[in-house]
Structure 1
Amino acid sequence: MRIHVLQHTPNEGPGSIARWSQKHGHEMTVHHPAHFQDVLPKAEDVDFLVILGGPMSPNDDLPWIAEERSLIAQLMAQHKPIFGACYGAQQIAKVIGGEVLDAPYKEVGWAPVKRVSDRIPGLPEKVEALHWHEQMFAIPDQAELLFSTDLVKNQGFVFENLLGLQFHFEPEADNVREMVANDSAYANDAKNALHQTGADILAHGVPSNNQGIMFLLLDYLVDQTN
């Protein structure tokens, strides 16, 4: 399977998604549309699309952001699986008729997410995940809400073979260190409702079950196309 990843900032890479790809013998290619424009993959070359996070908003008026959504729509019409994290989830939400709005609270750090749907077997009722956002998606009725937090209701959704998470299961320990090293000012903001500094985020460590949940979600999306 040809996995194509859209990475939007140097310090938010595929993390355990790359490990999942290697485990299954897939071929993974990472694109950097925010830095190298006009390098998006062609829909016919993609079997599975992954859209990662970034500091931009889907509401920004940039040509490559609109081009990403065009690619998502093409792949959706071809019933190919798509996974989005943070900004990536917001991009998917816009393609299926949703909106991207300012969230009621800025969340940066570790906090539990609650499963609110039984759609995907094997997911725990509650799990600790990394948050790094201050916007959120609003999904249309045909999509199903998958996760929520106490501060922000819209945290994850599933629609056919599309899945978006406002938070992050994919970072491994080195990825978290990279995020904090380069973007700790985003956490050390008085507006952060989780009140965690970069040092707090590092001290917490990555929960041991995050990788397994990430694998489960990716496997689920692949199964929807078989």
Structure 2
Amino acid sequence: MRINILQHTPNEGPGSLLEWAQANGHQTFVYHPYHFGYLPTAEETDMLFILGGPMNPNTDLPWIKKERQLIQELLDKDAPMLGVCYGAQQIAKTLGCQISEAPAKEVGWAPVYRKSKIVPGLPEKLLVLHWHEDMFEIPKHADLLFSSNDVRNQGFIMNHRIVGLQFHLEPQADNVREMVVNDFPYIENSVLNQSAADILKTPVPEENKKTMFKILNYITGD
């Protein structure tokens, strides 16, 4: 299977998503549309990962609109798709949902709570990395998958093929360090009240990768 990955900033890479793809024998192709302007076609995409980034889907940029055209074509194709943070917002906006400022800016480690049992074996509670101040509406016909203490809409699942996560399950320890050292000013004014040092000293829970793998296995039928 060919998995195309849309990356939107140098310091938010695919992390454990690559490990899952390699373990399952899939090819991955990473695109940087914010920099080069190129996107894959729907015909050459068996699965799509849409990663996070500092931009907002409401911004009037041609490449952001082209991403949503690709997402729509893949929705029509019933291809499995995972959106993270900005990526989840892009999926939701493609489905006609509003993207707005969240009730609280969340940057740092905080728990999320499972709200649906559609994906078998997901833990009731996870300690995850948050890096956002906007949020999506839950799309029509989708189920709320996760919530946090401060922001209800943390994840959705639709048609057993599409998952959007407002938080980050994919970063491994080196990815977290890369995010913090390059984007530490963004931590300011977070409701979680954590410093860069606090975020860095928190170990990445092994359960996060396992949970990500369960979600990906579910939406691909593996």
For normalisation by structure 1, the TM-score amounts to 0.96
* Equivalent residue number for residue 29 of structure 1: 29
Residue identity opposite 2:191 in structure 1: A
SS at match of 1:92: helix
CA-based RMSD: 0.8
Instruction: For 2:179, give the aligned amino acid.
Output: M
Q: Deviations over 1:78-97 (max 9, x none)?
A: 01001000000000001112
Q: How many equivalent residue pairs? A: 221
**Residue 104 of structure 1, CA deviation:** 0.5
How far the C-alpha of 1:74 sits from its partner, in A, is: 0.2
In the TM superposition, what is the alpha-carbon distance from 1:141 to its structure 2 partner?
3.0
2:12 aligned with 1:12: yes
1:3-32 C-alpha deviation (Å, 9 max, x unpaired): 000000000000000000110110000000
CA distance in 1, matches of 2:25, 2:176: 25
Match of 2:109 in 1: 110
Aligned partners of 1:166, 1:185: CA distance in 2, in Å? 20
SS in 1 for 2:180: helix
Q: Does 1:209 align with 2:210?
A: no
Distance of 1:3 and 1:211 partners within structure 2: 18
Q: Which residue of 2 aligns with 1:3?
A: 3
In the other structure, the counterpart of 1:52 is 51
Is there any run of 5+ residues in structure 2 with no aligned partner, and where? none
2:86 maps to what in 1? 87
Equivalent in the alignment of 1:170 = 170
Aligned to 1:200: 198
Distance 2:206 2:75 in 1: 32
Question: Whole-Å Cα distance in 2 between the matches of residues 42 and 11 of structure 1?
Answer: 25
Matched, 1:157 2:160: no
Inter-partner Cα distance in structure 2 for 1:77 and 1:52 = 21
Separation in 1, partners of 2:174, 2:219: 26
State the match for 1:75 in structure 2.
Answer: 74
Q: Which of structure 1's runs of 4+ aligned residues deviate more than 6 A?
A: none
Distance in 2 of aligned mates of 1:140 and 1:167: 17
Deviation of 1:140 (Å): 3.0
Distance in 2 (alpha carbons) for counterparts of 1:123 and 1:210: 10
